[in-house]
Amino acid sequence: MVHSWRVADGKVTHFEDLHDTHDVRRIVEPSGSPRRAPLDSPGQIIEAGLGFWSARVLQTAVELGLFTELAAGPLEAEQLRARLGLHGRGLRDFLDTLVSLGLLEREDGRYRNLPSTDTFLDRAKTDSYIGGLLEVASQQWYEPWGRLSEALRSGEPQDNVNGGMGDPFEALYADPERTRLFQRAMTGGSTGSIAAIIDKIPWSRYRTVADIGCAEGALISRLLRRHGHLTGTGFDLAAVAPYFDETATETGVGDRMSFQPGDFFTDPLPQADVIVLGHTLHDWDLDTKRMLLRKAYEALPEGGRVVVYEALIDDERRHNTFALLMSLHMLVESPGGFDYTGADCLGWMAEAGFRDCYVEHLAGPESMAVGTK
């Protein structure tokens, strides 16, 4: 079963999208975060400037496995101290901060998960866990973001571990542990969009799908479990293969999903009825973005579709704060990457030859741009 979720009234519920809007021919703006109200007091400005405090509390809770420990039931602070191997000093402040942030509940001295944190931050719930992204943020992204001013002065990435001005993935995938962590992060960051894509594309019209930059295969596996007539190919660097194969085995659709190792700079893309580029274009400069869309066009049959999804910046560049921050993240992490608006992407698709292009919101700050050959 492929899962979609909505959190409302303190409950996490499964839901199905009711509208098949594949025939839309207009831009539907990514909703993302609404434009924030102006910060008009010293307290608000200071709180915004110290926002990393809250981020570090959440990242640390995930890294410690706190939400996974609480998935079995409520625990007192002392019980959590013993189970997580903590000192004790500052623990009540840490736990009560999580309560104040709306991430835990406390009753009669015992702490418990909220429905949302129980669903999305318990490592054992592999279909819904999004904490991998926060683990990577804690271990790999936090320090480079401390050099944002230098990135703005120099225009150069600040994550030397991931290759500096070279190929960030070559350095990243040289370390198996960092590779595994990154695969989990990509799955966590894609969970909401994958759930939406499964229903928003008219899959009954197609037989094959290829995911370019597939990571551990979350999109392909969940798509194939929902749509039994599909077969799927994951295309990524060879170092990713073991993690993709694990997913194929664990999800029971290994007979319909396969991994094709390759480098999209030098190799053609696999042929398929639908080609998906998820969280891929923003890693690269404009020339590479255009090149990938041209290669997708060449690999598709007449009537085939390309689906590009990530945090698309709203066309006014003032509402989708997450997408704008993601583009700054590309500055910090990559030699030439940047995020872009839906209108930008539709223009590049048209240049590559695609027709009937449109943008549609998926989940949270993310949207998809779709074009037909």
pLDDT digits (tens, 9 = 90+) for 75-94: 999 999 999 999 999 999 99
Q: Where in the chain is the domain with CATH 1.10.10.10?
A: 42-120
Domain 42-120: top CATH class: mainly alpha
According to CATH, the superfamily of the domain at 5-30+126-372 is Vaccinia Virus protein VP39 (3.40.50.150)
Q: What is the pLDDT of residues 178-188, one digit of tens each?
A: 788 888 888 88
- pLDDT band for position 126 (50/70/90)? confident
226-270 per-position pLDDT tens digit: 999 999 999 999 999 999 999 999 999 999 999 999 999 999 999
Query: Which of the residues are catalytic?
Result: 282
The percentage of residues in the chain with a pLDDT greater than 90, rounded to a whole number, is: 77
Residues of the chain within CATH 3.40.50.150 domain(s) are: 5-30+126-372
DSSP string covering 290-353, please? HHHHHHHHHHSPTT-EEEEEE-PBPTTSSS-HHHHHHHHHHHHH-SS----BHHHHHHHHHHHT
This prediction's pTM: 0.86
Mark residue 227 as left, alpha or beta (left: phi above 0; alpha: psi -120 to 50; beta: remaining).
beta
What is the model's pLDDT at position 26?
Answer: 38
Query: Following DSSP, what letter does each residue of 194-231 receive, concatenated?
Result: HHHHHHHS-GGG-SEEEEET-TTSHHHHHHHHH-TT-E
